[in-house]
Structure 1
Amino acid sequence: MPLHIVVLIHRPNGQLSFARVGDRSWTRITDVVNLCDRGYRNAVYNKNDGLFYLLYYRGSIHTLDLNGPSPVANEILGGVTGWDDPTKSIVLTPCGDMLQVWRCRDLRFADIPVQFPSEDSDDVYNPCQELDTEEMMLYKVDIDGQKLDRMDSLEEDCCVPGFQF
């Protein structure tokens, strides 16, 4: 029977916790060699190797193995940028490639504040702020070369279902 695990990325600082089926609480991931204690922005699970792939805010990628008694992490791609902008996501394609999707946004201020339901109001810092997407960038992750290769479009044999570029 496969092991079912959920990884949680805490906001705003990107700390990590996990829970296995049957756990009564989350386990905070701390003091793991090769793993930062904060700054993760995205994660994806690879069913082919049983690892979680974690995307750090600087674009580095770590694997996280939660199959044993304690977490094991390895950095597989070093940081590729020095800042948290643009927003980054990680995608595994059906053919096994790993992609990073970067979203460049611009902060603008509206004249009329946006109305939010009261249960969401604690998450709103300024109801007049808007983040508009200016550009999307797509990169194929080259682990062996320790780099990202810019892509102009998705390759025909590696399409991601439901993904629009």
Structure 2
Amino acid sequence: MKKTVSWLALSVLVVACQKEVSFDQNEIKKVEWLIGNWETQTEFGVLSESWKKINDSTFSGKSHFINNTKDTVHHESIVLSEKNEKLMYQTIIKGENDDEPISFPLVSLTENTLVFENKNNEYPQKITYIKKSPTSIVALISGRQQGKESNEEFTLIKK
């Protein structure tokens, strides 16, 4: 009886650990709701983000912020790719990090939420996308900035 309980406990532990360590294949298919053109108007200007499917393992994204005087003050190129069954969010922000990509590995995925994290990045350390409806998503960037917790939330509408 003790051997049966021990094997059962060990089996449950192994299965639980495997599920936490790796994600299912084709995770990128679960986030196809991200594909499209998204936009929000803020008091400072317009933030837009566009995503397209490049192939079965890669999405390409662009993010722009154009202020009220029509100047582009933020331009970002993003690649969301699945390699070895893991999703990676890589961003190149014009004028930052010598225009080299910054990687954010996936740390959490549910049907309507994606969370990427890079604790070594200056700011943000976490990037979250939440699907609110087929035509509305929330993009949240957060982390420590100048020694204080900070977060910025943008509700984007599909165009």
Q: Which one has a bigger Cα radius of gyration?
A: 2
Between Structure 1 and Structure 2, which shows a larger proportion of helix residues? 2
TM-score interval (norm. to shorter): under 0.3
TM-score, length-scaled by structure 1: 0.26
TM-score, length-scaled by structure 2: 0.27
